[in-house]
């Protein structure tokens, strides 16, 4: 069961991440983020000069550049990782670090909360994957499915601010 779960989780993560993060920044920066409905975590919006000077397109690009390569690498290695749950978890942790670096690189007040929500959703899913691999007999597949859907929703929400160009 752990290998099958890792395979499903890896595929779900790769799809959600690539769908949410490799769409490219908005050239015109003119998408409205209203009605997002996602829960946001951590820092309040900043009014620092850095935040004011980073355009929405620059912020989208900054987040995406940190996350995109790691997500593609995860997707490319998914078949190898299915056979090695420990390596898969290590790769998922590396991706978590890339997402964290991506969030840190965003200073734009409109993009930052979307990137943070994406990070929170990814971490929720990662927590579920780790729980399943540690104790497959007690796997809460409903929680896993909910976390997967949460990541997909956060990806969609991120695209409301950072649509493909």
In a domain, 75, yes or no: yes
pTM of the model: 0.73
Measure the CA–CA gap between 83 and 69, rounded to whole angstroms.
22
User: Of 94, 102, 77, 83, whose CA–CA distance to 3 is shortest?
Assistant: 83
Q: Summarize pLDDT for 15-74 with one digit per residue, the tens.
A: 555 454 544 433 333 333 333 333 333 444 444 445 558 999 999 999 988 888 778 877
pLDDT at residue 118, rounded to an integer: 93
pLDDT at residue 52, rounded to an integer: 55
Identify the top-confidence range among 16-30, 73-87, 146-160.
Answer: 146-160
In a domain, 86, yes or no: yes
In a domain, 31, yes or no: no
Residue-number span of the structural domain to which 54 is assigned: 2-20+50-160
Q: Residue 164: left (phi > 0), alpha (psi -120 to 50), or beta?
A: beta
In a domain, 36, yes or no: no
Q: Which ranges in the chain belong to alpha helices (H)?
A: 2-21, 49-53, 56-76, 78-82, 85-105, 112-134, 141-161
**Domains identified in the chain, total number:** 1
In a domain, 57, yes or no: yes
Q: In sequence order, which residues have a C-beta less than 8 Å from that of residue 154 and are 6 or more positions away?
A: 20, 38, 114, 117, 118, 120, 121, 122
């Amino acid at each position: 069961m752990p290998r099958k779960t890792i395979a499903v989780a890896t595929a779900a993560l790769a799809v959600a991440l690539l769908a949410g993060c490799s769409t490219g920044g908005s050239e015109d920066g003119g998408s409205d983020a209203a009605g997002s409905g996602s829960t946001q975590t951590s820092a309040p919006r900043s009014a620092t000069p850095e935040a004011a000077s980073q355009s929405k397109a620059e912020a989208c690009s900054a987040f995406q550049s940190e996350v995109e390569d790691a997500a593609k690498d995860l997707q490319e290695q998914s078949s190898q990782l299915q056979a090695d749950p420990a390596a898969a978890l290590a790769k998922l942790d590396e991706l978590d670090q890339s997402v964290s670096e991506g969030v840190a690189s965003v200073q734009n007040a409109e993009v930052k909360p979307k990137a943070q929500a994406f990070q929170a959703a990814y971490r929720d899913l990662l927590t579920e994957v780790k729980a399943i691999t540690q104790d497959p007999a007690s796997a809460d597949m409903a929680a896993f499915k909910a976390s997967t859907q949460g990541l997909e929703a956060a990806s969609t929400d991120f695209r409301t601010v950072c649509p493909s160009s």
